[in-house]
Amino acid sequence: MIDITLLGTGGGMPMVNRFLSATLLNFKGRKILIDCGEGTQVAMRKFKTGFKAIDIICITHFHGDHIFGLPGLLSTMGNSERTEPITIIGPSGLTKILNGLLLSLSYFPYDIHIIEEPKKPLGIKVGMGRLEIEEINNSDDSMDCDMVVNTVELEHSCSCTGYSFYVKRMPKFIPEKAELNNVPKEVWKILQKGKTAKYNGKEYSPDMVLGEERRGIKLSYITDTRPTEAIVDFISESDLFICEGTYGANEDLDKAVANKHMTFEEAATLALKGNVYELLLTHFSPSVDEPETFKENATRIFPNTVIGYDGMRKLLNYR
C-alpha cells in the first residue's frame, strides 16, 4: 500500500490558499518526497505528515516552485537529530544545483547521497529502519526490491524528469501445489519470496509453490511538460496518474505550448491513451483560482479524473 499526501498543488508562485509543488509518499512507515516547493515544511506541519522518516527526495526539475523549500527542510531535519542518510534523485545538474542551494548550510548530521539522471531503474528496499535505494542491474536484483522506481525525460524549458513507482505483488503461495511437487516445508518461505532454494542436494524453484503472476501497484508522477508519446508508454496501466494541469481552460493552449505545460484536456488525453485507472490533476497556475471550474474539460475525455487540493490523501492498494 502507498499512502499519498498532496502537500502543495500550486505552480509558479506561492498563493495564500495553495502551497507550491510537493507530494509525500508513505511506504511501509517510511517516506518519499517528490519535489519541495517553498512552504513544504509548513504544509507538512499543517497536514500532520511528519518529516523525520523521509529517506528519499525525488526532484523533477530545478525551477524555484519545485526546489526552494529544500534547504529549509534539510536543515530542519538535521536540527531534529536525524542521522540516517538521505538520497536525493534528480535530472542532470542536480549536484551543481544542490551545492548552490546548500551553500549557507555548512553541516548536516547525516550524509546526502545524490543520484543524478539515473539511467537504470532504481530498487527500493526497506532495511535497517529506512528505505535503501540502488540501481537495478538485472532481473535478479529487482526480485529483492520492495519498490521499483523508473524515470522518463520530459519536455520542459529545462531538464525535467517524470517518475513512476511500482510496488510488486508476489504470486499467491499455494500449499497444495507445494505438497504435490514434494517441496519440503523447510524451503517454503524462501520460495514464497520468488527465490530458488536448495535442500538435501536438490534445487527447488518458486514456480513449484506459487500461482499465477499478480499485478502490483503503479503510481506515475508527471509535471511541468508538454504531452509526449514517451509519457503514454511510461504511465501505461498506472493505478494512479498524478499529472500537472497548469491550465484549466482549452483557450489557454497557446500559453501551455509557450510555457511547456499542459491543459486539463491534454492531461486527460494522456490518461486515456495510457489506460490508467485514475487521473489526479495538480500544479495549477496562479490564474486558475478554482480548478473545479474546469474539471469538465478533463472528465469528458477521461471520466475518472480528480482535482487535487492541498492536504488531499489517497490510499493505493492492490486491486
Q: What are the catalytic residues?
A: 65
Helix (H) or strand (E) holding 253: helix 253-259
Contact assessment for residue 151 and residue 161, using Cβ atoms and an 8 Å cutoff: yes
Distance from CA of residue 72 to its chain's centroid?
Answer: 22
CA distance 241 to 222: 8
Report, in this order, helix, strand and coil percent for the chain, each rounded to 5.
25, 30, 45
3-state SS, residue 4: strand
Distances in whole angstroms, Cα of residue 44 to Cα of each of 7, 8, 12, 37, 89: 7, 10, 20, 12, 20
Beta bridge partners of 169: none
- Using only the alpha carbons of the chain, give its radius of gyration: 21
**112-116 and 86-90: which strand pairing?**
parallel
Question: Quick check: 194 and 137 in contact, CB under 8 A?
Answer: no
Residue that has been written with the C-alpha cell 478554482 in this structure? 290
Please give the grid coordinates belonging to residue 161: 524528469
Pairing relationship of beta strands 279-282 and 240-244 according to DSSP bridges: parallel
Residues in contact with 61: Cβ distance below 8 Å, sequence separation at least 6, in sequence order: 90, 91, 154, 156, 158, 159, 160, 161, 224
